Amino acid sequence: MSDTPGSASTLGRAIINKYPDIESKPLDGNKIELIVPPEKIRDIVSLIDEQVSDALPESLFGIDLTENKYELIYIFWSHANKMLLQLRVHLEGEKPEIESVCDIFPGLEWHERETHEMFGVNFKNHPDLRLLLLPDELEGKFPMRKSFVTDRSRMDETGLAQPKSRPESGGESS
Amino acid sequence: MQQFDFYLWLSGLWDWIWGVLLWFWGILKWFVIWILDVIDGIWALVALPENFMFLVRAILMPGLIFVLFALIFTVWYTRKIWARVQDRRGPTHVGKYGGYQLFADAIKLMAKETIIPLKAKRWMYRILPSLLLVIVLLTFAFIPWDPYWNILGAPGSAFPDLSVSLVLIFALLTAVPVFSLLIGWVSGSKYSLIGGFRAANNQFASEIPMVISSVGPAMLAGSLSMFSIVAAQTSIWYVVLLPVNFATFLVASIASVGTFPFDAPVADSEIIFGWRTELSGIYFTVVYFAEFAEQMLYSALMVALFFGGFNGLPFLPGIVNFLIKWLVIYFLFTLVTSSFYRLRQDQIVHLCWKYLLPLSVLNVVLVMFAVVYIPGLLPLVIGG
Amino acid sequence: MSPDILDEASVIWFGPQHVSAHGWATKLTLVGDYIVECDPNAGYFHRSAEKCLEFRNFRQGSMILERICMMEAFLAEYPYIAAVEKIVDLEIPERAKIMRTIMLEFNRIHSLQFWWGQFAGELGLFAMLLWPWVDREYTLDAFEELTGSRHTVSYATPGGVKYDFTPKFHAKMEIALSRVKERMPVFDDMLAGSPTFRLRTEGVGHYTAKQALKWGLSGPNIKACGIPMDLRKDDPDPNLAYGMIDWEVPTTHNEEHPGECDAFDRLLQRFKEIETSLDIIDKLLPLLPEGPIIDPKARAKVNRLPEGEGYGRVEGTRGVTSVWLKTMEKAQTPWRAKIRGPCFASYYSLKHIVPGARFADFPAIFGSLDPYPGWWDR
């Protein structure tokens, strides 16, 4: 299956021939990984849609690398070619932006909504960027960012009673 | 010109107060006498032996108390059959074989808080469920339980039933879809409204085949009186002559009650509980009982129309014969309801109007020709 | 859709307190009896499992995943373990591989039985609701015998499995499997053989394979269109035993509309899934070798993981279930864990499948897609 149209190496070569500034990581079995600049994402995804007829948009999610650096990972799976395609996009900034691809793959619409509410990544031209999973009071807080702490320091935001502080002497010394 | 004399006026004050008191006393006395007269009249009526026995029959034996206990038994019976079909045990804990479970459930339901939705029409919401139960229970007056001991007929009297009781039963039952629709409407919820429309649609679709199915037995017996139809089945039960008619009646009656598989009006996976969604507490209890009373009624109608009513084993009293057959028919009824998938509303109407209605009309035509052209039939079906 | 039709439309919220909406809310716009617009809403079950995973070490993490979908608890936790095993180099004993596979398939059977009951209940046959659930109890008894827990088995651990099969477990599994085999024809008769069932499901909620791929549907929902897309065959996890035996991926073909599927096809597909699972278990049981069940160095190795990224996938009952893990150097906890639930796509696809259907067909459509709210809310 190494050179059938749409297989991992052919697709990788086709993409790199067309867009030379895209890096490709070495093949790992049936897995191909491309590092895509953010402005090229629509071109690459529509190329995948053309080249791989049965691409399944499996997943899209963000990673917070701290210091305002983010990564987006797009995962596609092709049953006919037994190929796992992973696109990696580096984003930077307080409010990173990227083009939405949900008109090409409708299945990514909700993944983009989730990434938007969880990481604050703005998907341009997305039809519907309402909150998906979060309650209204967490809008704009982006809870999956590493800067969103979940320990006791944010107790007063919840409106719950403060836990009693431990006595200075007596009891465990931990 | 007379001058106003204050002291004269003061001396007349007592007379004035006394007059007012006498006037009130007169009203009170008149009212008490009127009540006593009414009670006297009622008592005079009740004290007549015929009337007294009528009261006993209407309230005790084949009447209200009997029907209510039968209702409670029916709910237990249904739950047991359903449980057995579903590989469960049903109620087991309260009383022997869970016999008291229904009393416990009824007390629990009645003790529950009644929550009336904000958008509901409060008066209608309060009054409609009980009216529904009353309408359904009224029809039990015309069921011929026994040759001698019915609600309307005095023992030994020449004519123990109204001459049009079959028509009257269906006339009363026509009110049921109206009540379903109204309850759905006044609940102020979209689910209830959809359920109400579906219930009305369902019953209009199914009651026409049901009424026409009941024409067959009436024509064979030559009467519209339930008692006469039952009395005519001494030599042969009509189910032997009219099996198709019985089948259409059974299916149409299940559809009319609106239970499984024709429970689109209360389909819980679509519209929660249909027109009963917003009912709670005592209102829910009443509507729930009304549904079971309807199932009981249709089973009793089937026994009377097709299975010879109180005719049966000669050494048993008529009512025992009737009840045995009723249990069997009710079992059949519940078995059918517990073993089909729910149909969609359009499929129900499709079934009722495209299959049941032509079948039942065809049966009427066949019975017409049979009564005229088959010579030995008439003496057989008229009864002894 | 012209705007004057929408003037008469009424909006109905299907959930979150609806008896048949299992913790989700869908906004339906109805014109008459027809649904013209469907807006699925998620988030009522959201417990931020992904954030929780960032605070659990690599042996604890799978317990959180189990709680996402109780019905396929072992299938849900396995991708996490597979992802950990991709990052750290572990020697999985042969016996453990086969035992894992058997348990995965066993779990799939009881998850599918649960779904049958639920689907029949949504279509209004409550006898069929309870019959598969009674049979399911035998499977749960076997799970209890093996792991002490009926649903959340947490059987596998990075490097192997936790408990060895005992003769008592073998006996209970035999009872459960023979019960399933014995009752399969009965259920086939009660679901696929029932004319009222066909009336309710045929032609309802149909889509083409191409559409399904675009929406991201996977598992039985796409195999019902005739595409044999199955991760057990296409991309088997190296630490599972699917490659050791010979088996067929079940697919369903709609004869009237090739390449499409409706609710009835999806039901048939799930019947075939159970047959395949029984087949795989039957073929794997004789292959079970003697030996250790866990890599002895696993516990020490999993304490701190090297930097890396691992993508563990498994074919769940409802579709592709996967966990994507990123670890930093000497990590005790994952830096980022992404859970991909199969029902995320199937719940989203209601938006496209439902419009045009009757309101009464809505339970048949979502029931046949088998959505489980834990998977999209996580």
**Domains in chain C with CATH codes:** 3-377 (1.10.645.10)
Alpha helices in B139-214 (DSSP H): 165-173, 175-186, 190-213
Whether the pLDDT of residue C114 is over 80: the answer is yes
How far apart CA B189 and CA B173 sit, in angstroms, is: 25
> For residue B190, what are the contacts with CB-CB under 8 A and spacing of at least 6?
C10, C12
Contact between B208 and B138 under an 8 Å Cβ cutoff? The reply is no
**What does the pLDDT read at residue C341?**
87
Q: Which of residues 130-169 of A touch C (CB under 8 A)?
A: 131-135, 143-144, 150
Whether the pLDDT of residue C319 is over 70: the answer is yes
Alpha-carbon separation of residue A172 from A167, A168, B136, B299, C347 (angstroms): 10, 10, 72, 74, 50
**What does the pLDDT read at residue B384?**
54
ipTM: 0.86
Torsion of CA A40, A45, A50, A55, to 10 degrees: 160
Distance from CA of C123 to the nearest CA of B (A): 6
Residues C218-250 have pLDDT tens digits of: 889 988 888 888 888 888 888 888 888 888 888
Contact between C352 and C207 under an 8 Å Cβ cutoff? The reply is yes
Cis peptide before B261 (omega within 30 of 0): yes
Residues of chain B with pLDDT under 50: none
Whether the pLDDT of residue A5 is over 60: the answer is no
pLDDT band at A174 (very low <50, low <70, confident <90, very high): very low
Task: Using CB atoms, list chains with 3+ pairs below 8 Å to chain B.
Answer: C
What is the overall mean pLDDT for chain C? 87
Instruction: Give the range among A151-165, C106-120, C151-165, C240-254 with minimum mean pLDDT.
Output: A151-165
Q: Which amino acid is at B49?
A: P
In this predicted model, which residue has the larger pLDDT, C277 or A3?
C277
Portion of chain A with pLDDT greater than 90, in percent: 2
Distance from CA of C98 to the nearest CA of B (A): 35
Instruction: Name all domains of chain A by residue range, CATH numbers in brackets.
Output: 8-148 (3.30.460.80)
How far apart CA C41 and CA C351 sit, in angstroms, is: 10
Q: Is the pTM of this model over 0.95?
A: no
Q: Which has the closest alpha carbon to C294: C170, C168, C156?
A: C156
Which tokens go with A5?
Answer: 């149209």
Torsion of CA B8, B9, B14, B17, to 10 degrees: 160
**Do residue A54 and residue C227 have CB atoms under 8 angstroms apart?**
yes
Region class of A171: left (phi > 0), else alpha (psi between -120 and 50), else beta: left
Residues C9-39 have pLDDT tens digits of: 888 888 788 888 777 889 988 888 888 888 8
| Chain B environment of C131 (Cβ under 8 Å) | 86-87
**Do residue C338 and residue A61 have CB atoms under 8 angstroms apart?**
yes
Residues A10-67 have pLDDT tens digits of: 777 777 777 777 777 777 777 888 888 888 888 888 888 888 888 889 899 999 888 8
How would you class B318 by CB atoms within 10 Å of its CB: exposed for 0-12, middle for 13-18, buried for 19 or more?
buried
What is the overall mean pLDDT for chain A? 81
Query: In terms of CA atoms, which chain C residue is nearest residue A134?
Result: C43
